[in-house]
Amino acid sequence: MKTIFKFKYILPLILLFGLSSCTKDFLKINTDPNAIAPSEASAKYFITNVEYPLYSPSRYAYWRGVLIFASRYSGYFDFGFDHCWWSDELGYKFSSGYNDATWDWLSDYFGDIDNFLKLTAPDGDFANEKMHAVGKIIKVLYYQRYTDVFGEIPYSEAGKADIVQPKFDTQNDIYQGLISTLDEAINTIGDNVKTGDGVDDLGQNDIIFNGNLQKWKKLANTLKLRIALRAYGAPGASWTNSVITSAFSTGAFLQTGDDALIPKDNEITTWSSACYGDIFYGFGGTGSKFTVSKVMIDYLSANNDPRLPLYAQPAPGGTYTLNRPDQANNPEGYENFPKRIAYIDSVLQKATGGDMTFTDNGSSVEITIPENKYYIGQPSRLNSQIKPFVVYQFFSIPGEEIIQKKKQGKPIFPEIVMSAAESYFLQAEAVVRGLATGDAQTLFQNGIRASMALWGVDAGKAETYIATAPLAQLTGTVDQQLEKIAVQRWIASYPEGFEGWSDVRKSGYPKELSKGVHDPIIFGLGDDNGVFPQRLIYGSKAYNTNGNNVDAAIASQGPDLQGTTLWWAKSAK
């Protein structure tokens, strides 16, 4: 007969997670807690439910935080076509419901990682210093995402039992704290390859690296480089140079095949762990669907990028009639119809190389696009007035694996925690900036190779691209080289919007995104007059429960607006 084993944190965790893991062991715990013998108890059973909610959260958080904000601010996906439920101005005008869903997701996740760290701490019920080190790395991944979305957030006082209203720390302090945490984790891991034997081995319960500590160490060191380069040049960030030197002296960076990924689960309900396909198909009809942005498609098409058919699908095409609004009932629409139609026509003409027909019938126009032939990106941030003329069938949707619905037995592209491609691009950037030594061209092109490999691109096609595409040659001035690195990193981050958005804010590239929008006849300018979004507004819960510290953060970093530039970011151009 097995003994009931009591823990301080196991009940809160089971109540909090309430999900069956993709592993038999975790399923066993969830279905029969009494079946846990002391010899079987381990924190390994809780790691899965610490890893995936940060990258594959519930449907509301995924729909709002991941899709509406991150994936659209990054310039990857668009709404705003004719039958879409929303104009592409959604998210650029404040909505407390969408904003609060994102704040609540990220602020509440703290309890997940904090509990795991308590469980594995020296005085925890499942004390294990190596599991604790993995938890520290996940904590850094969490806090970097959280602070890069909102700016100043609770950090140093978060989780302290005697502090109900934690202060909001500056990003400079948070970033330096994250570096210290990573150094602790790296030192703890050392040369160890796993967290222990038997139940002390994270193994397959660790859905990112299957318990491989050396890959976690590489991730931690690469994350150090990301944090340091993001902070580089910011006020008071002189510490970044020594951190970059330290990262290169360790030399353990993610390499091709080391990609940190979260596989998409085909069993857990979308209400607990969602994916793009749950939103693309799950809401019914065309209203909730989304297209790939013009900026992304243009870069891929212009360089004959073999990732294009994996990132997107050819536009369905067809023949459609667009009617001029009635002058009496919609004088603004009637007056601006020619300009709006001319804009749409120019986008389609460029994408098809003129292989289309455009017939002006006075009160209407008829447009024909060849079916399933061309990749056509939709312009971002289009307003509600031009929306009726943005025909869904004229634009490309994301690749099949990106929008594959769950529980269909088909592959779904994983969530990117950190890719080997980003690792190489970060190293190349450090070398170009003179912060490290190495062959920047080789590192840069290895980043392209690693991205191609992640997507399963044929090696021969990848080499052809590297040999022929202008965007694959690290030539020109330092600024031109940095632009190429930034754009390739942005392309490689697709469809992971949070890092894509951060890359644009920090580097200013692609310029087509960072410059914002200006013509109100075509675009929705949002609450900040077309400025590229720099952050999200604090959630209602923060104001309601910790208002004084929210006010202090606003006084420190600037108005609580989407256009307020974060400490590490370049101003939008």
Q: What distance separates the 2 farthest-apart alpha carbons in the chain?
A: 85
CA–CA dist 367, 343 (Å, integer)? 13
pTM, two decimal places: 0.93
Please report which helix (H) or strand (E) contains residue 421, including its range: helix 420-432
Q: What pLDDT was estimated at residue 27?
A: 41
Place of tokens 């995936």: 52
pLDDT in tens, the chain (573 residues): 232 223 233 333 333 333 333 334 434 434 444 456 667 789 999 999 999 999 999 999 999 999 999 999 999 999 999 999 999 999 999 999 999 999 999 999 999 999 999 999 999 999 999 999 999 999 999 999 999 999 999 999 999 999 999 999 999 999 999 999 999 999 999 999 999 999 999 999 999 999 999 999 999 999 999 999 999 999 999 999 999 999 999 889 999 999 999 999 877 788 889 999 999 998 878 999 999 999 999 999 999 999 999 999 999 999 999 999 999 999 999 999 999 999 999 999 999 999 999 999 999 999 999 999 999 999 999 999 999 999 999 999 999 999 998 888 899 999 999 999 999 999 999 999 999 999 999 999 999 999 999 999 999 999 999 999 999 999 999 999 999 999 999 999 999 999 999 999 999 999 999 999 999 999 999 999 999 999 999 999 999 999 999 999 999 999 999 999 999 996 433
CA–CA dist 110, 394 (Å, integer)? 43
Termini Cα distance of the chain: 68
Give the number of other CB atoms < 10 A from CB of residue 45: 26
Annotate 297-356 with DSSP letters as a single string.
HHHHHHTT-TTHHHHB-----EEEEEEPPPTTT-HHHHHHHHHHHHHHHHHHHHHHTT-S
Annotate 172-235 with DSSP letters as a single string.
HHHHHHHHHHHHHHHHHHTT--SS-SGGG--GGG-TTTTT-HHHHHHHHHHHHHHHHHHHTTST
Give the number of other CB atoms < 10 A from CB of residue 454: 21
CA–CA dist 231, 85 (Å, integer)? 38
Categorise residue 211: left if φ over 0, alpha if ψ from -120 to 50, beta otherwise.
left
Q: What pLDDT was estimated at residue 36?
A: 60
